[in-house]
C-alpha cells in the first residue's frame, strides 16, 4: 500500500540544555569572602608602597639642620634626592628582574608547592620589606646635601630591596589571581567573580595612590619619613594573619541541578 512507503515525519529537535546559573547572592561563600578580603588588603598595601617608595627616592635629602633633629630609628625625614637618571635605573631594574621571575620561577614554584602555599610563604616577607624601605633615606652618600644620594652604598641598599620586591610581586600577585579563580563557587559565576575582584582592585589602587602621597608628604615634613611604609607593614601583617584561614577552592564548590548531566 502507498501509505506504507511514505517517510516518517522528522523527530522534533532536542530541547537545548538549560545552563544552571548561580545567583549572585550565593557567590559570597566563606572562602570567597576571605579570598576577596585578602586581595583587598594585598592591593591596599602593595599599591600604597609601590607609589610611596619611588616618591621617597626623589624626595630631597635632609639638610644638616634636619639631620640634627633625628631620633633614630623612627624619627627622621628627607629622602634620597634622586634625579631622573638614577630613578630610571631603579625602574628598569624592577622590569628586568620581574619578567624572568614570573615566567620561569613562578610556574616551577606553583607546580611544586601549589598557588596557596606560594602565597603563604612569600607573603610573609612583605612586612619586613616595607619596614626596611624608609631607611634608604639614611644611607650615607658620597655627595653632601643638598645633592641627591650617590655612590655604592645607596645602590647596595636599593638593589636587594628591588630584587626582593620583584620576587614577592612575581609570586604573590599571580597566586592571588589563581586563588580568586579557584574560590569561585560555580563556573557560571566566574565572570561575575572577575568583575567583583577587578572593581575592588581598581578602587583600592585609586585610594591607595592618594593615601600614599598624603602620608608620605605628612611624614617627610614631620620627621616621620617611615610613617607610610610602617603603616603598609602593619597592613601586610594583618593580611598575613589570614594565612591559616584561606583554602584553595575547586571552582565548583556549589552544585546546581543539571550540573551532572
pLDDT one-digit tens code per residue, 92-136: 998 899 999 999 999 999 999 999 999 999 999 999 999 999 999
Q: How far is CA 125 from CA 22, 132, 212, in A?
A: 37, 11, 20
Please state the separation of Cα 33 from the chain's center in Å. 17
**pLDDT: is 77 or 258 the higher one?**
77
Q: If one looks up domain 41-245 in CATH, what number appears?
A: 1.20.1250
Distance from C-alpha of 226 to C-alpha of 129, rounded to nearest angstrom: 12
Question: Residue 16: exposed, middle, or buried by beta-carbon count in 10 A (0-12, 13-18, 19+)?
Answer: exposed
164-217 pLDDT per residue, tens: 999 999 999 999 999 999 988 888 888 888 899 999 999 998 899 899 999 999
pLDDT in tens, 216-233: 999 988 889 999 999 999
Q: Is the pLDDT of residue 37 over 90?
A: yes
- Give the separation between CA 91 and CA 98, rounded to whole angstroms: 11
Using the 8-state DSSP alphabet, how is residue 226 labeled?
T
- At residue 45, does pLDDT exceed 90? yes
Q: How many Cα atoms sit within 13 Å of 51 on the Cβ side?
A: 21
For the chain, give the mean pLDDT: 87
For position 13, what pLDDT does the model report? 62
Give me 163's grid cell: 630584587
pLDDT at 235 over 60: yes
Instruction: Please report the pLDDT score of residue 40 as a whole number.
Output: 95
Instruction: Identify the pLDDT of residue 244.
Output: 87
Predicted confidence band of residue 249 (pLDDT cuts 50, 70, 90): confident
72 pLDDT higher than 60: yes
Name the nearest CA neighbour of 123 among 244, 248, 212: 244
Q: Is the pLDDT of residue 5 over 70?
A: no
pLDDT, residue 16, reads 52
For residue 178, what are the contacts with CB-CB under 8 A and spacing of at least 6? Answer: 110, 115
Cβ-based neighbour number of residue 93 at 10 Å: 17
pLDDT for res 259: 60
Q: What is the pTM of this model?
A: 0.86
SS3 of the chain: helix, strand, coil, percent, to 5: 70, 0, 30
What pLDDT, on a 0 to 100 scale, did the predictor assign at position 43? 94
Give pLDDT, residue 125: 96
pLDDT at 57 over 60: yes
Amino acid at each position: 500500500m502507498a501509505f506504507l512507503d511514505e517517510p516518517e515525519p522528522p523527530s522534533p529537535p532536542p530541547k537545548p540544555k538549560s545552563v544552571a546559573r548561580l545567583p549572585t547572592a550565593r557567590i559570597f561563600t566563606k572562602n570567597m569572602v576571605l579570598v576577596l578580603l585578602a586581595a583587598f588588603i594585598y592591593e591596599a598595601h602593595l599599591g600604597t608602597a609601590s607609589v610611596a617608595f619611588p616618591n621617597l627616592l626623589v624626595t630631597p635629602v635632609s639638610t644638616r639642620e634636619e639631620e640634627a633633629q633625628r631620633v633614630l630609628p623612627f624619627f627622621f625625614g628627607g629622602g634620597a634626592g634622586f634625579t631622573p637618571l638614577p630613578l630610571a635605573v631603579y625602574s628598569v631594574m624592577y622590569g628586568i628582574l620581574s619578567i624572568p621571575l614570573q615566567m620561569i620561577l613562578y610556574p616551577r614554584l606553583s607546580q611544586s608547592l601549589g598557588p596557596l602555599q606560594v602565597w603563604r610563604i612569600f607573603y610573609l616577607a612583605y612586612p619586613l620589606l616595607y619596614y626596611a624601605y624608609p631607611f634608604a633615606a639614611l644611607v650615607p652618600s658620597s655627595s653632601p646635601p643638598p645633592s641627591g644620594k650617590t655612590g655604592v652604598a645607596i645602590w647596595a641598599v636599593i638593589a636587594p630591596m628591588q630584587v626582593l620586591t620583584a620576587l614577592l610581586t612575581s609570586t604573590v600577585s599571580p597566586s592571588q589571581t589563581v586563588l580568586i579563580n579557584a574560590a569561585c563557587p560555580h563556573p557560571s559565576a566566574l565572570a561575575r567573580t572577575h568583575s567583583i575582584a577587578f572593581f575592588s582592585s581598581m578602587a583600592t589602587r585609586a585610594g591607595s595612590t592618594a593615601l600614599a602621597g598624603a602620608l608620605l608628604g605628612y611624614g617627610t615634613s614631620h620627621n616621620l619619613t617611615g610613617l607610610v611604609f610602617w603603616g603598609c607593614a602593619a597592613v601586610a601583617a594583618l593580611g598575613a594573619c589570614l594565612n591559616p584561614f584561606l583554602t584553595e577552592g575547586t571552582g565548583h564548590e556549589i552544585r546546581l541541578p543539571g550540573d551532572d548531566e
